[in-house]
Amino acid sequence: MPGRFSTMRFPTEITLSGPLRSPAQMLAGQRVDNHASVHDGSTAASLGLLGAPIEGPTHFSQFDPLAVALWGDEWFAHGAISCHFQQMVVEGEEVQATLTTDGPRGARIEAHKADNSPVLIGTASIGPDHTPTELDARRAAQGDPGELFVIDTLEIGQRGADGEVVAMGFTEDNGPAYPFSLAEKLERITEPHPWYTPEGAAASPWGRAIVPMEMISVLANKSGVNWPVRSPALGLFLDLEIRLLDGPVFVGQHYSVEREIVGLSQSRRTESYWTKTVLSDTDTGEAAAVVLLHSGVFKESYPGYPKDRLS
């Protein structure tokens, strides 16, 4: 297999760990509902955060070499990564990824900082028949969200606009929520690979450049997720799953977008909603990938939130 990744097979349980990496902050200029996001330093400080967090999917790239070591290039066609974010990471901090097999087609994953504080936990698996994922279990455990004040305008089964089509080229940015291009991401990605690039595209098994796993959620949200959440309010990613059904997801390919609310919940500090997004190849009509995103909204960031409900 060309590039930095290699293929191996393991007959027994084994743990693979990557090196410590320093992921880059690329969302300082992010705009959501025409205001700065939690990825802006001063905005993060207003919520008592120690710094502007790096976007969670950035960490997914550190698991790619570990998954490819187990499952080869099939990872890019039928892989799934599913995780719960435990702690924010700011630029300058180092992160290490670890994968431990729990069968021939599945594994537990975790990432931690250099001081061993946790960043995320979850699962990785290879399809087409995936083992149960981290978010399968977390969604099953969700109860009644109770009274809501920021996302009370949402309901399970609510669907996004029809006719959305997205594509990711190398040089254009990806909208106000993702103000950088794929080319800019590839200059700073923690785990580069030739198959992501124009120069290495022809050498891939598909003869085309593929979108890195961490950028698939960017593609899914490129056209904007216009759920009627009350505003102004600041949000963050709580959980994320990317499942490839008939991949890879290709650079320059057009994908139709089907989006649906599949869950509502809340915690002490956030109200949150689960969005399932299906990306289908417009040429074949086949679903290429499913992105499940659990988005949280800080209660205290919404001016209209009842003060007696803030703890």
pLDDT in tens, 30-58: 555 554 445 455 554 455 556 667 898 99
What are the backbone dihedrals phi and psi of residue 258, each rounded to the nearest 5 degrees, phi first?
-120, 120
CB 109 within 8 A of CB 63: yes
270 pLDDT higher than 50: yes
List the strands of the sheet with 79-85, edge to edge. Answer: 15-17, 95-101, 106-113, 118-126, 79-85, 235-244, 287-298, 270-281, 255-266, 165-166
Strands (E) in 193-234, as ranges, are: none
Token readout for 31 is 């705009």
Q: What is the mean pLDDT of residues 154-178?
A: 92
Q: Dump the DSSP string for 94-138.
A: -EEEEEEESSTTEEEEEEEETT--EEEEEEEEESSSPPPPHHHHH
C-alpha 84/C-alpha 172 separation (Å) is: 30
Strands 255-266 and 235-244: unpaired
Dihedral of alpha carbons 148, 152, 156, 161, sign: negative
Tell me how far the alpha carbon of residue 111 is from its chain's centroid: 14
pTM value is: 0.90
What are the backbone dihedrals phi and psi of residue 134, each rounded to the nearest 5 degrees, phi first?
-55, -45
Domain edges within the chain: 15-309
Q: What is the mean pLDDT of residues 236-259?
A: 96
At 188-222, the pLDDT tens digits run 999 999 999 999 999 999 999 999 999 999 999 99
Note the pLDDT of residue 35.
Answer: 46
Amino acid at site 76: F
Q: Please name the fold of domain 15-309.
A: Thiol Ester Dehydrase; Chain A (3.10.129)
pLDDT band at 177 (very low <50, low <70, confident <90, very high): confident
C-alpha 85/C-alpha 60 separation (Å) is: 11
Q: What is the mean pLDDT of residues 72-78?
A: 96
Average pLDDT of every residue of the chain: 89
